[in-house]
Structure 1
Amino acid sequence: MTLNIISLSDLLKSDSTEEEIKILLSSFECKSLSHGASDVEDFLHNKAIFFEQLDMARTYIVMSTYKKVHFVAGYFSISNKPLIISKRNFSNIPNSLQKKLMGVGHKTKMHNYEIKSYLIGQLGKNYNSVSKKANAATGNDILGLAYEKIKDVHAIVGGRIVYIECENNIKIIKFYEENGFRLLEDYESPNNLRIMVKKIEHL
């Protein structure tokens, strides 16, 4: 089944009204109502357009067709956001990972550690009734599409790391570990989320 990517930016520039776009985005549903899943759903429903208009992130809608009906199969959002680790938190990271990160980043004047990175801010598969029947995309499919967008940008402006912030959920962490991400042990972001990283050269 064919998957097509439509950028939210292009949608907002099209002949579609903002209300029509909001109706499309609202068709996305998460499988559960856990905190992390709720954030993924809420972002697309209520924040994605605002983030797009302020150039804070770029959101991409993954579309497919089932019985001639177009539907949202999933989505992802990407932002050009450096990964910044405080000196104290950096010292908590295992030495083996410290050495790997030292090769791709630099220390700032505030003695933090900064790596030129891309953040996959949101990524989700649609679980509404049509999408479940069609079974058009897996989480791996959507992540692979996000990789392709990051590689396109990387070819133009560079960068070393792609990372995600996620809740401390075993299933989510396992999903990203199986896709080559490495968890920063004993480290949480300022908003109490776990950080997982992957070198862009390994996408």
Structure 2
Amino acid sequence: MALTVISLNDLLKSDSTLEEINTLLFSFECKSLSHGASDVEEFLHTKAVNFEKIDMARTYLVLSEYKNKPYLAGYFAISPKPLVIPKRQFAKLSTSQKKKLMGFGHRTDMKNYECKGYLLGQLGKNYSEVAKKANQLSGRDLLTLAYGKIKEVYAIIGGRILYLECEDNEKIKNFYRDNGFRQLEDYISPNNFCLFVKQIKDL
């Protein structure tokens, strides 16, 4: 199995036309119509290119081959964005969770909690017919590839944590727990998503 990670930003600067790039992006399909899954699909289809242009996030496409033809196996998007928990939400956390967070973050002048790190904004496997037949990429593989890019940035500018939001789905939450993320049990984002964190040193 040969997996190649290509930056969408580099692709946009290449000789590829926007039509060719969109054809590739729209070959990505989710297997579910749940809120979280549809967001992963919609991001790649309608937001990723614009996010690159305004430097809001970097999207990486994972490509492979099936029957000698390239296809999109999955993708991930990351942003250098601190984790900020409003003081009201922080106050609701358990004492043990507060202590753990304060171990690698701090309270701001506004009494919010802040920790320097990176947001894993999107992570998705392609469930198109071709991708399913090829079956060359697992969720763990995709996380490992994302870790590689985050480590590259961390070596240059530092940071403390990697965090992400996901829907309140036990299968999805167990996936992140099995891969070393910890859920902030008493925290729900404004989008009604759960919050998971992992220290950079543990990637």
Structure-1-length-normalised TM-score:
0.98
* Matching residue of 2:23: 23
What is the deviation of 1:91? 2.2
Structure 1 spans left out of the alignment, 5+ residues: none
Equivalent residue, structure 1, for 2:121: 121
CA distance in 1, matches of 2:20, 2:7: 15
1:48 aligns with 2:11: no
Q: Which residue of 2 aligns with 1:95?
A: 95
- Secondary structure of 2:124 counterpart: strand
Determine the C-alpha separation between the residues in 1 that align with 2:9 and 2:152: 17
The match for 1:137 is 137
Structure-1 residue corresponding to 2:109: 109
1:77-124: per-residue Cα shift (whole Å, max 9, x none)? 000111001222112222222112112111111110100010000000
Q: Give aligned pairs, total.
A: 203
Kindly report structure 1 stretches of 4+ aligned residues shifted beyond 3 Å. none
Moved more, 98-107 or 119-128: 98-107
- Three-state SS of the structure 2 residue aligned to 1:114 is strand
Q: Which amino acid aligns with 1:32?
A: S
Q: What is residue 184 of structure 1 aligned with on the other side?
A: 184
Residue of structure 2 equivalent to 1:69: 69
Which SS does the other structure have where 1:81 is aligned? coil
- After superposition, the CA RMSD in angstroms is 0.8
| 1:145-200 superposed Cα distances (whole Å, 9 cap, x missing partner) | 00110011001000001000111111111110000111101111122211100001
2:38 matched residue in structure 1: 38
Aligned residues with identical type, % of pairs: 65
Distance in 1 between the 2:190 and 2:37 partners? 20
Paired residue type of 2:8: L
